[in-house]
Chains A and B, each alone.
Chain A
């Protein structure tokens, strides 16, 4: 069964410090991986997906198949990055295509 683990429920950093939100997954195949973000009083929205190899709002995430990880990183955190972050996985070749399996989420707080 596929599973996504975010080991940190809470993460606090100071503005300008590097930040890394950890995500590990278990899946027997080649998954699609995503990071979603939920700012206060806003809807859950896609931040980035691994297949696009993009940098959004200064965030990047690299898929490490050997370590089955997809950690989210930003070199210099900003106060506006404070939010709930979810790592998610989709099974592109499975029967439940479109289904997202989420981790438990990490609340990031960036202090001034």
Chain B
């Protein structure tokens, strides 16, 4: 398995533009997480899904941010309109419970991240 795949690796966009980040979780994983990493705030959870359903979006900073998971193998994080303060590295992670209701922490896998720069 290629692990959690994120695209693009780097994104540079102008303020006001729409940005879409993509994530393909590991096949069979039923949890998907979006995190944001900045120097000031470290790693923060934005939103997470269980079986494609959003469970907790309390970390989404503003209405400009939205996330979807239309199926078990794909998720998007969209920022519209983007602002310079959105510049960060965005990570996607996935994990599974194997149907047992207990997270497999050793299988909690992060993607390589998307480095977003809004100018």
Show the binding face of A for B, using Cβ within 8 Å: 6, 32, 34, 43-46, 49, 86, 88, 90, 95-105
Interface residues of B in 94-119 (CB under 8 A from A): 95, 103, 105-106, 108-113
B90 in contact (CB, < 8 A): no
A68–chain B nearest beta-carbon distance, Å: 18
Q: B48: which of A34, A99, A105 is its contact (CB, 8 Å)?
A: A99
Contacts A44-B91, A104-B42, A105-B43 given: A98-B110 contact, CB under 8 Å?
A: no
With A and B bound together, what is the CA distance between A6 and B42 in angstroms? 10
Q: Contact check, A102 vs B44: say whether CB atoms are below 8 A apart.
A: yes
A35–chain B nearest beta-carbon distance, Å: 12
A and B contact pairs by CB, cutoff 8 A, 13 listed: A44-B43, A45-B110, A98-B33, A98-B50, A98-B55, A99-B48, A99-B56, A100-B43, A102-B35, A102-B42, A102-B43, A102-B44, A105-B42
Interface residues of B in 1-56 (CB under 8 A from A): 3, 31, 33, 35, 41-45, 48, 50, 55-56
Q: Contact check, A104 vs B105: say whether CB atoms are below 8 A apart.
A: no
Q: A46-B106, A99-B33 are in contact. List 20 more A-B contacts (CB 8 A).
A: A6-B42, A32-B105, A43-B109, A43-B113, A44-B93, A45-B110, A46-B105, A86-B43, A88-B43, A95-B56, A96-B55, A96-B56, A97-B103, A98-B31, A98-B48, A98-B55, A100-B43, A102-B35, A102-B44, A104-B42
Which residues from chain B contact A88 at a C-beta distance below 8 Å? 43
A88–chain B nearest beta-carbon distance, Å: 8
Contacts A43-B110, A86-B42, A104-B41 given: A49-B91 contact, CB under 8 Å?
A: no
Which residues from chain A contact B108 at a C-beta distance below 8 Å? 46, 100
